[in-house]
A and B are shown apart, each in its own frame.
Chain A
Amino acid sequence: MKFCELVRKAIEDEMDKDETVICYGLGVTDPKGVFGTTKDLHKKFGNKRVFDMPTSENGMTGIGVGAAIMGLKVIMTHQRVDFFLLAMDQVVNSAAKMHYMYGNQLNCPIVIRLIIGRGWGQGPTHSQSLQAWFAHIPGLKVVMPTFAEDAYTLLREAIQDPNPVIYLEHRWLHETNESSVKGNISIGKARICREGKHCTIVSNSYLTLESIKAASYLSERHGIECEIIDLATVKPIDEKTILESVKKTRRICVLDTGFEICGLASEIISMVCINNEIELIDKPIKGSMKDIPEPTSYGLTKNTYLDAADISRKLLKMFKETIVENELMKLKPTRHDIPGDSFKGPF
């Protein structure tokens, strides 16, 4: 099953099992059903539990918080993280704080699904990956699955979590059906999706797929074995898995879909660097979005997004290997702004 279908199935299965679960958001009941992730759920569960909403992000988040503290489990969806910015007050000052601030008397089981993405001229206000914003706030959990099966497992768990969970889905993953590798996944647990002894790559969301491509190339052509940790939960962060891996490899490359300043990559690198038991052989590599609003133009976004070629190049430099440009070119997508040729925009 595809990622988008498994997101839908997670919601469906939880709604089946638990009648306190409700689900709403712009476009949830429309014919497209938020890229297929909520398609026809209202037909099965009725419009009391599954409904579209007014274009009122802040109010509807607060309303979700109110319903959640009354014992409903709320799943709210937004088609872009950027639209959710109107609701920062409610998520930061209400949802995240309530349990602590009111002395553990109430809790807020709300899952906020936010879609992030890249490409097709999404431009400055439709393309941001703001996981670091949410991770910055005490009281929030932040999940961003890469593999379709993990999307399912983690969403089900998020719905049952008694705390607010921000669940970030990359638009370019919706149509994928990458199955996860061995081992159980749960919130708070990072996934080692490739083992290796030379360098640890910590990456998230769509970038993990690019890392896997890069790692195969590096292994085949240069004998460099990367260990890839997919950071499916950004918060609470799985320090143990990351540190243990770096203790072994003594090299780290962190890749994040978000902006570089005060971002997730910086956070992880500092975590590694201040650890007394780790002595790195090489300087850490940081790969995130430059401190620039994302331009819209196809011409300006060519080097905006990291891909397998960029990742390989960074690692080859680290290992002082010869860079064979025409081999790297083969790792690039035909067009940098679409996940595949079937994609014709506009989304």
Chain B
Amino acid sequence: MDEQIGTKWMKMKKESEKEKKVIYKTMKRIRMIEEAIAEKYPEGKMRCPTHLSIGQELTPTIISMLTSKRDKAVSTHRCHAHYLAKGGSLKRMIAELHGKTNGCCKGKGGSMHLIDMKVGFMGSSAIVGNSIPVGTGIALAEKIRKTNNISIVYLGDAATEEGVFYESINFAALKKLDILYVCENNLYSVYTPLKERQPPNRNIVETVKSMGVEYTKNLTERKTEDLYKELKLVLGKIKKNGGPGFVEVETYRWREHCGPNYDNHIGYRNESEFMEYQKTDPLNMLEQMLTKEVVEFEIWKEELEKRISDEISRAFEYAEQSPWPEETEGIKGIYADNGSYK
């Protein structure tokens, strides 16, 4: 190998190793947080409907790596991974799940309504499709203000069945908004598989493309490196040339739709499908890759796990010690006036 190419190759390898480690770190952190919530949920201290992101950590991890805190994101009922990947405060999220005053919505929102505006996470909605036009409006505002920031809209596969999805896509295409719609297709809406909701061979990417969205792609979480490359490409184009993008990413939810348990036994999906996705768990695959590629990965990993689990313990302590909201808080903030808008 010619020496110059050799060093370049070495450099590239280093670069990609660094990136992979960042991805691993963020994903692992989200996974461990969600598992901790699942473990503690039955204690009955987090008393609100909770939709875990376990199995769906990779896409938001990559997207947040490729965007900045100035870029905005909105999300759905299943918002923990989106919020955490974007850099949302962990302890304020856990406090929110506990309904405490230090929660990111002062306890008024719960698990399905997370927000951390400091890092551009502009909220999530418990109503399917509800945040799609809101994220589109965010992109409109950014465009009017000429900020060059991107708006990310996370949605599930079921949200593409709502009229508001098409209305938003149309408007984004019309106004060439800088926005990326990320449809995380985990094959189900609650217990209903895609085939009961959409005709076979529906290609949502083609549909959106034909509506005038230029940057579109079918992706899967089962191929980490490709996913990274493609998302980088799409986001790069939006940043550089402007205009909307849409990606559909194949993914899989491990636990029940809502709540901490596994639910393969109830019969809406089968164990073998579940096992198939377990085999291609992006976190596990990345771990195997890094074990081969990185010297002393095990040691690094152990330290990482230790750091994360300390952070999680601190977040739960923070949440449990945080006071309940004052009763008077309940009647505040209905309108934005008298300083209640804070």
Spell out A's residues near B (CB within 8 Å): 26-27, 29-32, 51-59, 82-83, 85-86, 120-126, 290-293, 295-300, 302-304, 337, 344-347
Residues in chain B near residue A86, CB distance under 8 A: 127, 129, 162-164
**Complex Cα distance A126/B159, Å?**
17
Q: Are A299 and B267 closer than 8 Å at their CB atoms?
A: no
A-B contact pairs, 14 of them (CB 8 A): A26-B189, A26-B192, A30-B268, A52-B192, A52-B197, A55-B128, A55-B159, A58-B163, A121-B111, A125-B112, A299-B101, A300-B108, A303-B330, A345-B259
Residues in chain B near residue A302, CB distance under 8 A: 327
**Complex Cα distance A347/B258, Å?**
8
Binary contact readout B188-210 vs A (1 if CB under 8 angstroms, 0 otherwise): 01111000111000000000000
17 additional A-B pairs beyond A298-B99, A299-B100, beta carbons within 8 Å, are: A30-B191, A30-B268, A32-B191, A52-B192, A55-B189, A86-B129, A120-B47, A121-B49, A121-B111, A123-B126, A296-B107, A298-B324, A299-B107, A299-B324, A344-B42, A345-B259, A346-B258
Q: Are A296 and B192 closer than 8 Å at their CB atoms?
A: no
Nearest-CB residue, chain A, relative to B46: A121
**Complex Cα distance A122/B49, Å?**
7
**Complex Cα distance A303/B129, Å?**
31
B242 at the binding interface (Cβ < 8 Å): no
**Complex Cα distance A31/B263, Å?**
11
B86 at the binding interface (Cβ < 8 Å): no
Q: Are B268 and A296 closer than 8 Å at their CB atoms?
A: no
Nearest-CB residue, chain A, relative to B42: A344
User: Contacts A296-B107, A297-B103, A297-B324 hold; do A126 and B259 have CB atoms under 8 A apart?
Assistant: no
**Complex Cα distance A82/B267, Å?**
28
Q: Are B48 and A82 closer than 8 Å at their CB atoms?
A: no
Q: Are A56 and B113 closer than 8 Å at their CB atoms?
A: no
User: Contacts A27-B191, A300-B329 hold; do A83 and B127 have CB atoms under 8 A apart?
Assistant: yes
**Complex Cα distance A56/B162, Å?**
5
Q: Are B110 and A296 closer than 8 Å at their CB atoms?
A: yes
B1 at the binding interface (Cβ < 8 Å): no
Q: Are B113 and A296 closer than 8 Å at their CB atoms?
A: yes
**Complex Cα distance A241/B160, Å?**
48
Residues in chain B near residue A346, CB distance under 8 A: 48-50, 258-259
Q: Are B331 and A290 closer than 8 Å at their CB atoms?
A: yes
Spell out B's residues near A (CB within 8 Å): 42, 44, 47-50, 99-101, 103, 105-113, 125-129, 158-159, 161-164, 189-192, 196-198, 258-259, 266-268, 324-325, 327, 329-331, 334
**Complex Cα distance A207/B161, Å?**
36
Nearest chain A CB to B179 CB, angstrom units: 21
Q: Which of B48, B125, B196 contacts A120 (CB 8 A)?
A: B48
Q: Are A123 and B331 closer than 8 Å at their CB atoms?
A: no
Nearest chain B CB to A98 CB, angstrom units: 21
Q: Which of B127, B159, B164, B197 contacts A125 (CB 8 A)?
A: B127
Residues in chain A near residue B108, CB distance under 8 A: 123-124, 293, 295-297, 300
Residues in chain B near residue A292, CB distance under 8 A: 330-331, 334
Interface centre among B47, B196, B258 (most CB of A within 10 A): B47
User: Contacts A31-B191, A55-B197 hold; do A296 and B162 have CB atoms under 8 A apart?
Assistant: no
Q: Are A300 and B107 closer than 8 Å at their CB atoms?
A: yes
**Complex Cα distance A302/B42, Å?**
21
Q: Which of A31, A51, A55, A304 contacts B129 (CB 8 A)?
A: A55
Nearest-CB residue, chain A, relative to B109: A296
Q: Are A31 and B127 closer than 8 Å at their CB atoms?
A: no
Q: Are A123 and B198 closer than 8 Å at their CB atoms?
A: no
Nearest chain A CB to B228 CB, angstrom units: 30
Q: Are A297 and B100 closer than 8 Å at their CB atoms?
A: yes
Q: Are A347 and B330 closer than 8 Å at their CB atoms?
A: no
**Complex Cα distance A295/B267, Å?**
34
**Complex Cα distance A296/B329, Å?**
12
Nearest-CB residue, chain B, relative to A296: B110
Q: Which of A54, A290, A347 contacts B161 (CB 8 A)?
A: A54
User: Contacts A83-B128, A120-B49, A123-B109 hold; do A345 and B330 have CB atoms under 8 A apart?
Assistant: no
Q: Which of B47, B101, B268, B324 contacts A121 (CB 8 A)?
A: B47
**Complex Cα distance A126/B112, Å?**
10
Nearest-CB residue, chain A, relative to B196: A52
Nearest-CB residue, chain B, relative to A83: B127
**Complex Cα distance A62/B267, Å?**
31
Q: Are A29 and B109 closer than 8 Å at their CB atoms?
A: no
Q: Are A300 and B49 closer than 8 Å at their CB atoms?
A: no
Nearest chain B CB to A340 CB, angstrom units: 14
**Complex Cα distance A126/B51, Å?**
14
User: Contacts A296-B110, A299-B99 hold; do A337 and B47 have CB atoms under 8 A apart?
Assistant: yes
Interface centre among A31, A124, A298 (most CB of B within 10 A): A298
Q: Which of B99, B111, B266 contacts A32 (CB 8 A)?
A: B266
Q: Are B100 and A291 closer than 8 Å at their CB atoms?
A: no
Residues in chain B near residue A51, CB distance under 8 A: 196
Q: Which of A31, A121, A296 contacts B267 (CB 8 A)?
A: A31
Residues in chain A near residue B100, CB distance under 8 A: 297, 299
Q: Are A123 and B191 closer than 8 Å at their CB atoms?
A: no
Residues in chain B near residue A83, CB distance under 8 A: 127-128
Pairs of residues from A and B, 3 with the lowest C-beta to C-beta distance, nearest first: A121-B48, A297-B99, A299-B324
Q: Are B325 and A299 closer than 8 Å at their CB atoms?
A: yes
Q: Are B268 and A347 closer than 8 Å at their CB atoms?
A: no
Nearest chain B CB to A338 CB, angstrom units: 9
Residues in chain A near residue B324, CB distance under 8 A: 297-300
Residues in chain B near residue A344, CB distance under 8 A: 42, 44
Q: Are B125 and A27 closer than 8 Å at their CB atoms?
A: no
Q: Which of B44, B192, B329 contacts A27 (CB 8 A)?
A: B192
Q: Are A300 and B47 closer than 8 Å at their CB atoms?
A: no
User: Contacts A29-B196, A54-B198 hold; do A345 and B44 have CB atoms under 8 A apart?
Assistant: yes
Interface centre among B48, B128, B266 (most CB of A within 10 A): B48
**Complex Cα distance A120/B108, Å?**
13
Residues in chain A near residue B50, CB distance under 8 A: 346
Nearest chain A CB to B64 CB, angstrom units: 25
Interface centre among B129, B191, B268, B327 (most CB of A within 10 A): B191
**Complex Cα distance A304/B324, Å?**
15
**Complex Cα distance A81/B105, Å?**
23
